[in-house]
Amino acid sequence: MLKYGIWLLTVGCWLLASCGEEPTANSQEPIVYSSPVDYDIVLAGNFGEPRPNHFHGGIDVKTDNVEGKQIFSIANGFVSRITVNMYGFGNAIYVSHPDGNTSVYCHLKCFAEPYEQLLTRTGRDTLDLHFDAGQLPVNGGDLIALSGNTGHSTGPHLHLEIHDTETWVMRDPLEFLGPYVADTVAPQAHSFMAVPMQGEGVFNSGQTKQTFSFGQSDRKVQSSRIQLQREFTAWGRVGFALWADDYCESTYNHYGVRYTQLLVDGREVFSSNVDGIPISTTREVNDWGDYDHWRHNHTWYLKSYREPGMRLPILHTGFSQGIITFNEERDYHLTYILRDYQNNQSIYDFTVRGVRDSRVRICRHDLLLNPYQLYDQCLWPLYSHCYP
Ligand SMILES: [Zn+2]
């Protein structure tokens, strides 16, 4: 009996001990991130900027317009991949970190000694080497490469991406490197676009999309609130889109806006938070943005509503998909709130008066039970449930 008890105790201790050890082996530990360069970071581009067919997948760190700046690993981990290519990322090095993220350093001139020796270069190379954990461990702050201008790059800079190692979802590097990037300047909106839904809405008596300027504003301010004096009219279903840029104090560059929110009478109808973009959705930038407008004007109006079929997880809308129904003859107060990663903020208010228009028939969306019906009935209206 005693023997049996001791055996139980022993097994129990072993179980306890192994339970205690198990989590540290596989769990994703929080780790400390540091700057990839040894001077103040100034960005030439930020994460998620809309570009034709894709979102900018990382940050562009300025390198003083020269090659050869020392590039350091931003955290502990191991070198998991090295690529050499005339296109794309050019010379690139990947570091996998124990918190489940991988940092990718691109357009490099060359790699630091221990890595450069692993490559047998013959000239016009395309190399893609993968390494296991334990082969090439690095510490945060270790020199891993020199910056360059290789691959698809229009000038010397460091393009740095951070991905979820498992899913390869693209993260905003400022989530990790925010403290190293000075920014006390709020994003600014230039103008908005009103997009009446075809046959279902009018804006300022027009049935096609129209743009309206917010006027020239002070660019380099930390926060601002602008009220448009002009009054607009609308009836039926209207979507909105916004042309806006973010800025920082130390350069003329402009960036994408991290957070955008559209409120109607104080209630959110749309918001976007540009972090965590699955690679498989990157082409949806052409649907979120008004691609046709970009082709003609090279400015991106980003919609504050969701087109049918869009999966982009950075957009948040309710039941109405962000489209506003003006169906009461009263003032609607619309507010755009723009924020950057450092919480600099600008606010734009404008008023839209609901004015009945006989060209538009409004569906009583509130009578419908589910959004699939809503979508069907608004594209192919049955009108039995509509009033003039
Ligand atoms: Zn870039």
Q: Measured in angstroms, how far is the CA atom of residue 298 from the centroid of ligand 1? A: 18
Q: What is the pLDDT of residue 218?
A: 67
* 148 CA from centroid of ligand 1 (Å): 13
Distance 93 CA to ligand 1 centre (A): 15
Q: Could you tell me which residues are beta bridge partners of residue 195?
A: 239
For residue 27, the model assigns a pLDDT of: 52
pLDDT number for residue 223: 87
Distance of CA 14 from the midpoint of ligand 1 (Å): 51
Distance separating alpha carbons of residues 98 and 114, to the nearest angstrom: 21
* 255 CA → ligand 1 middle, Å: 12
Q: Measured in angstroms, how far is the CA atom of residue 334 from the centroid of ligand 1? A: 34
On whether the CB atoms of residues 364 and 237 are closer than 8 A, the answer is no
Residue 242's nearest CA partner among 188, 318, 307, 306 is 188
Ligand 1 centroid – CA 227 distance (Å):
35
pTM of the model as a whole: 0.85
What pLDDT score was predicted for residue 380?
40
CA of 282 to the centre of ligand 1 (A): 15
Interval between CA 45 and ligand 1 midpoint (Å) = 6
What's the 53 CA to ligand 1 centre distance in angstroms? Answer: 14
Distance 143 CA to ligand 1 centre (A): 21
Cβ neighbours of residue 363 closer than 8 Å, sequence gap 6 or more: 200, 374, 377, 378, 381, 385, 386
184 token code pair: 């006390």
Query: 10-residue block means of pLDDT along the chain (388 residues)?
Result: 41 38 49 97 97 97 98 98 95 97 98 91 83 96 98 96 98 97 95 96 97 84 91 96 94 95 97 97 96 96 95 93 96 98 97 96 58 45 38
Report pLDDT for 5. Answer: 42
What are the two backbone dihedrals, phi and then psi, of residue 315, each rounded to the nearest 5 degrees?
Answer: -100, 140
Q: Where are the alpha helices (DSSP H) in 215-340?
A: 285-288, 291-297
Q: How far is the CA of 152 from the centre of ligand 1 (A)?
A: 9
pLDDT of amino acid 45:
97
Distance from the alpha carbon of residue 133 to the mean position of ligand 1, in angstroms: 27
Residue 291 Cα, ligand 1 centroid: separation in angstroms?
20
The pLDDT of residue 28 is 62
**What spacing in Å lies between the alpha carbon of 61 and ligand 1's midpoint?**
8
Distance 156 CA to ligand 1 centre (A): 11
18 CA to middle of ligand 1, Å?
A: 45
